[in-house]
């Protein structure tokens, strides 16, 4: 059959990837990046291209990230990643809902799986595993807060904020949070502080609106 036409990054997609990658190369894990791109701006492709670039980064010959958690309630994010990153199917897995989910999370990390897809609701369990049982590995949590096709009472942004608020920072884990519009809680959790006439306020690492 015919191969799909290649997709090329739009300016805002290229810019955010080019800004994040050298920072990660220099600083390593432990940082938080809030990317505020409006709905319809190609977030699933931006995530895919960013993960592809970050996955190849090393410091002193060692990979910066042992594993990526792609946290999203939209199936197209997983499809985009698998189309953009070659051979991803052989090094990725999708967490399945069951009563032994914590053990499942531990197992896929221990097996060395590179890319782990998860629903937003599982984020607290993932953070528990990293915090309590994985001090020696380094992780990237790539979180997609764009709403799925179906409506839910609790937004992905609310779920993520609840999961992260009150936890101690994880020096071995980076957060890449993609949100169409960030509320004040998300800005304080993941944004960059700046001085606004003597008052500390917060802003996203990268902002794109039409």
Distance CA 120, CA 123 (A): 6
Give me the pLDDT at residue 101, please: 97
Bin 182: left if φ > 0, else alpha if -120 < ψ < 50, else beta: beta
Tens-digit pLDDT profile for residues 113-146: 999 999 999 999 999 999 999 999 999 999 999 8
Give me the pLDDT at residue 185, please: 96
What is the pTM assigned to this prediction?
A: 0.92
Residue 84 contacts residue 77 (beta carbons within 8 Å): no
Distance CA 17, CA 12 (A): 9
Report the SS3 class of residue 173.
Answer: strand
Q: Tell me the chain's radius of gyration from C-alpha atoms.
A: 17
Distance CA 96, CA 118 (A): 8
Name the H helices within 28-173: 43-55, 75-84, 101-110, 123-133, 156-164
Torsion sign (Cα): 42, 44, 46, 52: negative
pLDDT band at 209 (very low <50, low <70, confident <90, very high): confident
Region 162-183 average pLDDT:
96
């Amino acid at each position: 059959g015919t191969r799909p036409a290649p997709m090329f990054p739009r300016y805002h997609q290229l810019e955010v990837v080019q800004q994040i990658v050298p920072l990660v190369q220099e600083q390593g894990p432990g940082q938080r990046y809030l990317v505020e791109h409006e709905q319809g701006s190609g977030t699933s492709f931006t995530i895919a291209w960013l993960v592809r670039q970050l996955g190849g980064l090393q410091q002193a010959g060692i990979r910066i990230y042992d594993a990526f958690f792609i946290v999203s309630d939209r199936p197209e994010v997983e499809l985009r990643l698998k189309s953009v990153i070659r051979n991803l199917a052989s090094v990725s897995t999708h967490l399945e809902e069951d009563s032994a989910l914590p053990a499942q999370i531990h197992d896929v990390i221990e097996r060395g799986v590179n890319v782990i897809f998860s629903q937003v609701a599982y984020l607290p369990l993932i953070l528990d595993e990293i915090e309590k049982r994985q001090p020696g590995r380094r992780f990237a949590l790539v979180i997609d807060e764009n709403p799925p096709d179906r409506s839910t009472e609790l937004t992905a942004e609310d779920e993520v904020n609840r999961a992260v608020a009150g936890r101690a920072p994880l020096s071995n884990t980076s957060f890449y949070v993609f949100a169409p519009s960030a509320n004040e809680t998300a800005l304080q959790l993941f944004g960059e502080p700046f001085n606004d006439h003597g008052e500390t306020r917060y802003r996203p690492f990268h902002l794109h609106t039409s």
